Structure 1
């Protein structure tokens, strides 16, 4: 058998066309697809594989449907833990309202007298009969010194009053400080001294009786201060001189504070308007246990002072004052770093109770004068 030489058609110029062998096309050559411009190759075999994968995926989803449904059911029936919500903390009751009401009540009570009992009606609604003459007693000053909530909304308040009496001739005599305790009921929010936790409720106050005069609080003796050394008042001591210059500028405004303060003491400002025209240091104590320091120690060294001064006011009165200062060494001189909030207490030194000897009787000289 003789094979004829394959003849190519003139139009067979592109890849992928079939080759004619004795008038038959080679299908294996024609089966090759032309490359897709996107870069993906497409063929009947490739499409057949994708179809099988899709079919398998569909059956997997169908088969897993009941399983997924059971899982969702059990997940939804699982108990969800409750979210813990912190309990609301009741607001603390404030003594400010009852204390202020009690102070006004005591002042009105001291002024009232026979025939003016109605002046107490805004404070106390009970029956009142007074025997003292109206205006025979007055409180020139008063302040609350103790306030305690005896039960919710009910307060025990102690008021200190500087009492002056006037005789029939109109001569006034100062009796000194006396103490009065009153019971005050409060309504409204806890911030007003009441029991309601709502801020919208109106506050109200009422005294439950006339005031009761009581004894003065227990007197105590303060603990020892930390200033162990007496430095006198001479400006020959650099620390005393620094304190004197600072307090003169602070109280009289005659010079700038910056001359006497450390660089980080910008919060210190002179008093304005100026209250005094002159300042004299009368004594200085400090917490340095050694002898007086005529030379300034190393930078950063601190010294705590208690400085007593006599300040002369605008009309010539000399007013005695005490200042607790902290000084810091820098560049061979002392500078004021701060005016302390209170004199320093020696470590471990506690106050002690002393017998109270004041007697607030009818004699004016039995009570020492007290300034508020």
Structure 2
């Protein structure tokens, strides 16, 4: 064992050495600290907000108006549905719970009669309870009057019901020719829809090279049934079965999508197919079908 006196001497010696080392560290580090301080304190351009941050734009109150209309339609005698957050005056509803249920809302138009004021026309899909207790879908439109700035908005009144835009006459599509469902074009279209919508088969078998179309995951349907197929182009008998490479055909297809419960949804596709190696491959899902007269 080391005697106490000797141990104390060793401790004092070590403390002196550590003190000298720390002193030299301070001397050496001082200029560096000054430089770092100057760099840190140097004025710099204000940091830009992250790209993902979206600041409130007072010129676009559509989202607020949609939420206001949804709250107004949801209010009942037991729950104001947060209406006061949009219209502080509030409203006393006498409607029974569940008799009117807004499903979806969408902005149709925005008018600014003066700076800081807007009238937003909102369309809403509503489930309305009938006398037999069943709910039926109904489309309703209302104007929401708002005033505000970048700091926030407030409604000036309750929403005002107005007439929704009228539905125009049905358009005529430019697909005059009927194609056989079990023909070469029909088989390619059916195979594509089955792979794309139901995950049946390999999608790459039915799409042209370098085509950016993927299968929907998870599949929307368990099975797809092709009902009708029409083409924009006219083919001579047997011509579609032996197409020249690079030949294009524009089609519109109507199909049934069967879900896991066997329930059916009717769907339409406007497609462009191109011929390669004697068969038809889908090259594009068109954003809209061809219209007659265009």
TM superposition score normalised by structure 2: 0.71
Question: What is residue 165 of structure 2 aligned with on the other side?
Answer: 217
Q: CA deviation at 1:214?
A: 0.8
Structure 2 residue corresponding to 1:142, chosen from 105, 122, 144: 105
Question: What is residue 355 of structure 1 aligned with on the other side?
Answer: none
Conserved? CA contact 1:143–1:159, under 8 Å: yes
SS of residue in 1 equivalent to 2:175: coil
Structure 2 residue corresponding to 1:122, chosen from 67, 85, 88: 85
Structure 2 residue corresponding to 1:244, chosen from 184, 190, 212: 190
Q: CA deviation at 1:120?
A: 2.3
- Structure 1 residues 279 and 115 mapped into 2: Cα distance closer, same or farther (>3 Å)? closer
Q: CA deviation at 1:320?
A: 1.2
SS of residue in 1 equivalent to 2:179: strand
Structure 1 residue corresponding to 2:140, chosen from 169, 178, 181: 178
Structure 1 residue ranges without an equivalent (≥5): 1-92, 189-202, 349-372
Q: CA deviation at 1:328?
A: 0.6
1:273 to 2:236 alignment: no
Rounded to whole Å, the distance in 1 between the matches of 2:292 and 2:88 is 51
Conserved? CA contact 1:179–1:213, under 8 Å: yes
SS of residue in 2 equivalent to 1:220: coil
Question: What is residue 157 of structure 1 aligned with on the other side?
Answer: 120
Question: What is residue 368 of structure 1 aligned with on the other side?
Answer: none
Q: CA deviation at 1:280?
A: 1.2
Rounded to whole Å, the distance in 1 between the matches of 2:184 and 2:125 is 44
Q: CA deviation at 1:170?
A: 10
- Structure 1 residues 181 and 328 mapped into 2: Cα distance closer, same or farther (>3 Å)? same
Q: How does 1:37-52 map to 2 (within 5 A)?
A: none
- Structure 1 residues 260 and 175 mapped into 2: Cα distance closer, same or farther (>3 Å)? closer
Structure 2 residue ranges without an equivalent (≥5): 1-55
Greater mean deviation of Cα atoms: 206-215 or 138-147: 138-147
- Structure 1 residues 116 and 238 mapped into 2: Cα distance closer, same or farther (>3 Å)? closer
SS of residue in 2 equivalent to 1:182: strand
Question: What is residue 228 of structure 2 aligned with on the other side?
Answer: 283
Question: What is residue 6 of structure 2 aligned with on the other side?
Answer: none
RMSD: 2.8
- Structure 1 residues 269 and 128 mapped into 2: Cα distance closer, same or farther (>3 Å)? closer
- Structure 1 residues 137 and 296 mapped into 2: Cα distance closer, same or farther (>3 Å)? same
Q: How does 1:197-212 map to 2 (within 5 A)?
A: 203-212=151-160
Structure 2 residue corresponding to 1:302, chosen from 219, 237, 248: 248
- Structure 1 residues 334 and 165 mapped into 2: Cα distance closer, same or farther (>3 Å)? closer
- Structure 1 residues 213 and 302 mapped into 2: Cα distance closer, same or farther (>3 Å)? same
Conserved? CA contact 1:232–1:282, under 8 Å: no
Conserved? CA contact 2:223–2:257, under 8 Å: yes
Q: How does 1:104-123 map to 2 (within 5 A)?
A: 104-113=67-76, 119-123=82-86
Conserved? CA contact 1:112–1:135, under 8 Å: no
Conserved? CA contact 2:84–2:90, under 8 Å: no
Q: Which has the larger radius of gyration?
A: 1
Q: Deviations over 1:192-223 (max 9, x none)?
A: xxxxxxxxxxx301111111111120211253
1:342 to 2:291 alignment: no
Q: Deviations over 1:43-93 (max 9, x none)?
A: xxxxxxxxxxxxxxxxxxxxxxxxxxxxxxxxxxxxxxxxxxxxxxxxxx9
TM superposition score normalised by structure 1: 0.57
Rounded to whole Å, the distance in 2 between the matches of 1:171 and 1:150 is 42
Rounded to whole Å, the distance in 2 between the matches of 1:96 and 1:222 is 35
Q: CA deviation at 1:97?
A: 4.6
- Structure 1 residues 124 and 249 mapped into 2: Cα distance closer, same or farther (>3 Å)? same
SS of residue in 2 equivalent to 1:272: coil
Conserved? CA contact 2:103–2:127, under 8 Å: yes
SS of residue in 1 equivalent to 2:61: helix
